[in-house]
Structure 1
Amino acid sequence: MHETHEATRALLSPATYRQHPLSRPVVRGTIAICVLVAVLALVAWATLPDLPQSAMSVPVLSRADYDDLIDPETAPTLLTLLAIGDWGGTLGKEMGDPGSCCVMYNGSVDTRSNRYKVDFYAQAYVADLLAASAAQLSPARIVSHGDNIYWVGVGMDNAAYRLEQTFEAMYDQPSLRHIPWLNVAGNHDIGGASFICGDKEPYYECSSADELVAYLDRRFEAQASYKSPHGDRWVLRDHYYLERIVRDKIVVEVYNIDTNNADNHGGASVCCQCYGYAAKYGFNAGECDAATRGDRGCVLGNTEMFDACMDRIDSWADDSYTRMAADLAVSDADFTLVNTHFSPHYHMAPAKMARWIELCERFKVTAWLNGHTHGFNHDIGIWGIHFFMNGGGGGYFTANNPIVTTPTIQNQWLVVGEPYGFLELSFSRDWLKVQFATFDSDWRFGGFDLSETTVGGVARGHCWFLPRASAGVSPVGLECNASFNGPIGAPLQWR
Structure 2
Amino acid sequence: YKGMAWPTMSFPGKKEMHIFAIGDWGGLDGSLVPIEGRKQLVVYNGGRKSGPSVFPRNRWNKQTTVLLCHHFVFLQCYCDPVCPTVTNPKCLPGCGYEKGVDDQAQLLVATAMKARAAKSNPDYILNVGDNFYWGGIEKNCGTPMDELSPTAKHQFDQIFEGIYNGPGLSGKPWLSVLGNHDWGGRVFNNGWDQQIAYTWKSNRWIMPAPYWSQHIEYPDLGFSVDIYMIDSNAMDALDGPESPSHNICSSQFNPANADCSMADGPPSLGACKSWFWSFWAENQAWLESQLPKSKADWQIVVTHFPCGHQKNWYRTLHQKYGLDLLVTGHRHDQELHAASEELGGLTCFVTGGGGGISSEATPNPADKQDWYGEGQYGFYDLTISKTEMLIQSINYDGKVWQEATVYPK
The TM-score normalised by the length of structure 1 is: 0.58
2:296 aligned with 1:333, yes or no?
Answer: yes
The equivalent of 2:280 in structure 1 is 317
1:101-116 equivalences under 5 Å are 101-102=55-56, 105=73, 107-109=75-77, 111=91, 115-116=98-99
Whether 1:256 and 2:232 are equivalent positions in the alignment is no
The reply to whether residue 288 of structure 1 matches residue 214 of structure 2 is no
> Is residue 372–residue 391 contact of structure 1 (8 Å, CA) maintained in 2?
yes
Cα deviation, residue 120, structure 1: 1.3
Instruction: Give the direction of change, closer, same or farther, for the CA distance of 1:420–1:293 in structure 2 (3 Å limit).
Output: closer
d(CA) in 1 for partners of 2:331, 2:390: 23
Q: Is the 8 A contact 2:185 2:248 kept in 1?
A: no
The CA RMSD measured in Å over matched residues stands at 3.2
Give the partner amino acid of 2:301: V
Indicate conservation of the 8 Å contact 1:88/1:148, yes or no: yes
**Paired residue for 1:364?**
322
Which whole-Å CA distance do the structure 1 matches of 2:195 and 2:351 have between them?
21
Q: Indicate how the Cα distance of structure 1 residues 100 and 121 shifts in structure 2: closer, same or farther if over 3 A, else same.
A: closer
Q: 1:162 to 1:333 in 2, by over 3 A?
A: same
Structure 2 CA distance, aligned partners of 1:224 and 1:294? 23
Instruction: Output aligned runs, 1:30-429, within 5 Å.
Output: 78-92=16-30, 96-97=46-47, 100-102=54-56, 105=73, 107-109=75-77, 111=91, 115-154=98-137, 155=139, 156=143, 157=149, 158-194=151-187, 196=188, 215=189, 219-227=191-199, 232-247=203-218, 248-262=221-235, 266-268=236-238, 272=240, 288=244, 305-343=268-306, 345=308, 348=309, 352-379=310-337, 380-382=339-341, 383-400=344-361, 414-416=372-374, 419-429=376-386
Q: Deviations over 1:104-143 (max 9, x none)?
A: 5275225556613211121111111111111111111100
Q: CA–CA distance in 2 between the matches of 1:220 and 1:438? A: 29
2:124–2:174 Cα contact (<8 Å) kept: yes
CA distance in 1, matches of 2:402, 2:224: 25
For the 8 Å contact 1:291–1:298, the answer to whether it is kept is no
Instruction: Spell out the pairing of 1:461-472 with structure 2 (5 A cutoff).
Output: 461-469=401-409
Aligned residue number for residue 408 of structure 1: none
Change in 2 beyond 3 A, CA 1:102/1:293: closer
**Cα pair 2:176 2:206 within 8 Å, conserved:** yes
User: 1:435–1:463: 8 Å Cα contact kept in structure 2?
Assistant: yes
Secondary structure, aligned partner of 1:121: helix
Post-superposition shift, 1:428? 2.1
Q: Could you tell me which amino acid in structure 1 is paired with residue 304 of structure 2? A: H
Task: Give distance in 2, aligned partners of 1:229 and 1:298.
Answer: 29
Q: What displacement does 1:151 show?
A: 0.5
Gapped regions of structure 1 (runs ≥ 5) = 1-75, 197-214, 275-286, 402-412, 441-457, 470-495
Say if 1:96 and 1:375 are closer, same or farther in 2 by CA, change over 3 A.
same
Look up the equivalent residue of 2:133 and give its one-letter code: Y
Q: Contact 1:89/1:149 (CA < 8 Å) preserved in 2? A: yes
Identical positions, percent: 26
Deviations 1:193-252 (A, max 9, x none): 14x4xxxxxxxxxxxxxxxxxx46xx331100014766x100001111111111121111
Q: Give yes or no for contact 1:424–1:436 (8 Å, CA) kept in 2.
A: yes
Structure with greater proportional helix content: 1
| Alpha carbons 1:88, 1:150 under 8 Å: kept | yes
Amino acid of the structure 2 residue aligned with 1:159: A
**8 Å CA contact 2:240, 2:249 repeated in 1:** yes
Query: What is the distance in 1 between the residues matched to 2:106 and 2:194?
Result: 22
Per mean C-alpha deviation after superposition, the further-off stretch among 357-366 and 146-155 is 357-366
Alpha-carbon offset, residue 305 of structure 1: 4.2
Residue in structure 2 matched with residue 460 of structure 1 by the alignment: 400
Instruction: Give the TM-score taking structure 2 as reference length.
Output: 0.69
**1:292–1:368: structure 2 CA closer, same or farther, 3 Å change rule?**
closer
Whichever residue aligns with residue 175 of structure 2, its letter is L
Cα distance in 2 for residues equivalent to 1:290 and 1:243 = 31
Change (3 A) 1:228 1:461: farther
CA pair 296-236 structure 1, distance change in 2 beyond 3 A: closer
Give the unaligned 5+ runs of structure 2.
Answer: 1-13, 31-41, 58-70, 79-90, 144-148, 259-266, 363-370
1:222 is matched by which residue type in structure 2? Answer: Q
Q: In the aligned structure 1, how far is the partner of 2:246 from the partner of 2:174? A: 35
- Over 3 Å counting, the alpha-carbon distance change for 1:344 and 1:419 in structure 2 is closer
Q: Is the 8 A contact 2:125 2:174 kept in 1?
A: yes
Query: How far apart in 2 are the matches of 1:432 and 1:376?
Result: 18
- Give distance in 2, aligned partners of 1:183 and 1:297: 26
d(CA) in 1 for partners of 2:255, 2:152: 25
| Cα separation, 1, equivalents of 2:120 and 2:348 | 23
